[in-house]
A and B are shown apart, each in its own frame.
Chain A
């Protein structure tokens, strides 16, 4: 990887290179010290004793973890299944020719974006007394669906004007223009942003932990708070965190791969610009006007 932003400094000469090497050594030493301290603390607080790792040998504990992982993926699956149509519907609403529909869709989308997901999840769970799984899915669909609606809308608006005008000139009706011309191009260009938003949804399934949905983190907590295994908290984190982060990383990489692929693809040339992949907090940059 070369340094991207060369607006910051010139190509370094021999003296600067030597200086950078020195800084590099110092930084390396500091990072090594940090990692060393963590490893030392792990051993110092006896995290690698047999008793703390013993639970992972048991069939029941393994099943518990797998069931938790399954529940996490189930919540994620339902979220994707409902959030995509929700997003499409409200994006269409926001692009509608009818003022009332437009206002209503805008209101819904803006409201659910301004609300913390957790408030919606708790509202559905506590006030409407829904089962944890569906409370979680409902909250995630409302939030991620609203963000996806903005992503879809931005995608449709980013298709060059000529495409739309040409389609109308061919005598297509507005629904045809949308379904045959604008949406196929927009969805292709927006695919990286859509997948990146799904990473957010996957991450947020862990909020189910807070409403006692029996997902992955919940299973981890059950094991971690077991006195019989000497409260194996750190071992549980060492097992759970890489799986969680690994799943999200895989999905993020998929988004990046799709982005690179569609940038190369000749069929998007001259169409809407391909959105950048990248997990965002809040509205992804590609959906901001």
Chain B
């Protein structure tokens, strides 16, 4: 066997091991109820903003504290706390993906992705989108 073949086998084995260990670090998409069951574990919570509950954000007193209530399609609700600036399109979002952990009665969120029905907002959620990929403007008013 050639030396390079040994190197090849070793590297392929390492690559496979790396990919398998990667799948162990992945998280899951959850509803509020399943996120509560996995208390303390990092999840992607798929929910909506509860527009009837107040949104607490006062940039003057603390620009790094946002709190609101999220509800999901199954009707469960949870208080969400986020330690950064409020995404400006939060109120308009029709769907939010909250990345974080459920802890002590509230969802501690590390990152918020908002999805909005309007034309530019999908691409803009939390300023995190890639510019090469754009939202669909088909929902926009044609006469603007």
Do A and B come from the same complex?
no
B residues within 8 Å of A by Cβ? none
